[in-house]
Amino acid sequence: MSRSILVTGGAGYVGSHTVVQLLLGRFKVVVIDIPNSPLEIVLKRVAKLAGEFGKNLAFYQMDLRDKPALEKLFACTSFDAVIHTAGLKAVRESVKNPLLYYNNNVIGTINLLEVMVSHGCKKLVFSSSATVYGWPKEVPCTEDFPLCAANPYARTKLFMEEVCRDIYSSDSEWKIIILRYFNPVGAHPSGSIGENPSGTPNNLVPFIQQVALGRRPELTVFGSDYSTKDRTGVRDYIHVVDLANGHLAALRKLFDSNIGCEVYNLGSGKGTSVLELVSAFEKACGKKIPLLMAGRRPGDAEIVYASTDKAERELNWKAEYGIEEMCRDQWNWASKNPFGYGSPDHSTSQKTSSS
């Protein structure tokens, strides 16, 4: 019988791609996402991508802070595991409104964990972020590096990682995998699901995309005096479909081993500079991206990329796509859906799910 998985934030960027792969992997999936997310439209597309397995998808609009609603859901469905991707994720917004982040990301997660305990569901995949490495002293980042949170968003991820470790220490029946995402980009190769644009994107690739679409005049490059290959910041970009597959690898590990509580990096293991990414995107879209060279963005690390050895060894997972495919699929999605899932007036979802 197929296993039943709850995906919180399943209409979000990472969540929706993960749900497609889960359905294709023959899991039954229940998605919850916040009431103002474009849940229905996203999940209709997700179900279509899953073909005959689309029938194994159910979804509900629900805020994790609404504990009675969560209780009700767990009372009617028995879940074999939970993939928790829901959460706010904009660093700048978290600095301006930390309580919003603590309320949403921390209280929401605690509610979820409490309801899981009361219904005996003790298998969890938790979406964390490379943000917990802060400004790494060296690269590649391995999972045992010291952790450091530079802003309220990062602190919510770090707190929740610690909560996961504590609940496992208190009850060894738990099986928890914490996934530290590096920089997810790209979209499903079909171009029917991708990252939903919001006002002004915070992240590099959604910003380049809007320049390519003619919605913004130029890309501001934050910092050209780093000690990197071309003096611009270096990050580890990972195709969102590879990331989605990382969740399936994590689930398999949860079901097939006595994992305890473990952390894995999900990245490509390669460092790419801002200028390298711009050049790959220009190739993909056939347009020139005008650049404005500017000072460093406060709080930015110089160079961050993952060691993927642990995930390769223990999860048997490795990223397959390179920067070219990430840019190709991002542009395919963007040109088919220049305003994401909605009209310009309805493109709100800065605040949906993690990702």
> What string of DSSP letters covers 142-198?
PTTS-----SHHHHHHHHHHHHHHHHHHH-TT-EEEEEEE-EEE---TTSSS-PPP-
- CB contact burial 46-55 (16+ within 10 A = b; e otherwise): bbebbeebbe
Q: What is the total count of residues that contact ligand UFG (CB under 6 A)?
A: 22
Q: Residue 334: helix, strand or coil by DSSP?
A: helix
Q: Shortest Cβ distance from residue 6 to ligand UFG (Å)?
A: 24
Q: Shortest Cβ distance from residue 222 to ligand UFG (Å)?
A: 4
Give the catalytic positions in this structure. 153
Q: By CB under 6 A, tell whether 203 contacts ligand UFG.
A: yes
Among 183, 265, 268, 308, binds ligand UFG (CB under 6 A): 183
Q: Shortest Cβ distance from residue 346 to ligand UFG (Å)?
A: 23
β-bridge partners, 234: 273, 303
Structural contact between residues 9 and 33, judged by C-beta atoms closer than 8 angstroms:
yes
User: CA 323 → CA 63, 272, 274, 280, 313, distances in Å?
Assistant: 35, 8, 12, 7, 23
User: β-pairing, 57-61 with 175-181?
Assistant: unpaired
What angle is formed at CA 122 by the lines to CA 118 and CA 128, rounded to 5 degrees?
A: 115
Give, for 284, the enclosing helix (H) or strand (E). Answer: helix 274-285
Please state whether 170 falls in left (phi above 0), alpha (psi between -120 and 50) or beta.
alpha
Q: By CB under 6 A, tell whether 159 contacts ligand UFG.
A: no
Q: Shortest Cβ distance from residue 67 to ligand UFG (Å)?
A: 27
Which is closer to ligand UFG, CB of 24 or CB of 291? 291
Extract the tokens encoding 160: 């929740």
Among 160, 221, 240, 327, binds ligand UFG (CB under 6 A): 221
Which is closer to ligand UFG, CB of 186 or CB of 233? 233
Residue span binding ligand UFG (CB under 6 A) among the ranges 120-128, 163-171, 199-207, 279-287: 199-207
Q: By CB under 6 A, tell whether 222 contacts ligand UFG.
A: yes
Among 287, 297, 310, 351, binds ligand UFG (CB under 6 A): 297
Which is closer to ligand UFG, CB of 54 or CB of 233? 233
Which is closer to ligand UFG, CB of 183 or CB of 330? 183
Using CB atoms, what's the residue nearest to ligand UFG?
233
CA dist 209 and 327 (Å) reads 9
Among 8, 109, 129, 337, binds ligand UFG (CB under 6 A): 129
Q: Is the peptide bond before 136 cis (omega within 30 degrees of 0)?
A: no
Q: By CB under 6 A, tell whether 281 contacts ligand UFG.
A: no
Which is closer to ligand UFG, CB of 57 or CB of 219? 219
User: β-pairing, 261-266 with 291-294?
Assistant: unpaired
Which is closer to ligand UFG, CB of 297 or CB of 310? 297
> What string of DSSP letters covers 32-85?
EE-TTS-HHHHHHHHHHHTGGGGGGEEEEE--TT-HHHHHHHHHH---SEEEE-
Residue span binding ligand UFG (CB under 6 A) among the ranges 49-57, 167-175, 200-208, 312-320: 200-208
Which is closer to ligand UFG, CB of 231 or CB of 297? 297
Among 202, 224, 347, 350, binds ligand UFG (CB under 6 A): 202
- DSSP code of residue 101: H
Q: By CB under 6 A, tell whether 267 contacts ligand UFG.
A: no
Q: What is the footprint of ligand UFG within residues 77-116 (CB under 6 A)? A: 89, 91
Q: By CB under 6 A, tell whether 280 contacts ligand UFG.
A: no
Residue ranges binding ligand UFG (CB under 6 A): 89, 91, 129-131, 154, 183, 202-204, 207, 219-223, 233, 235, 274, 297, 300, 304
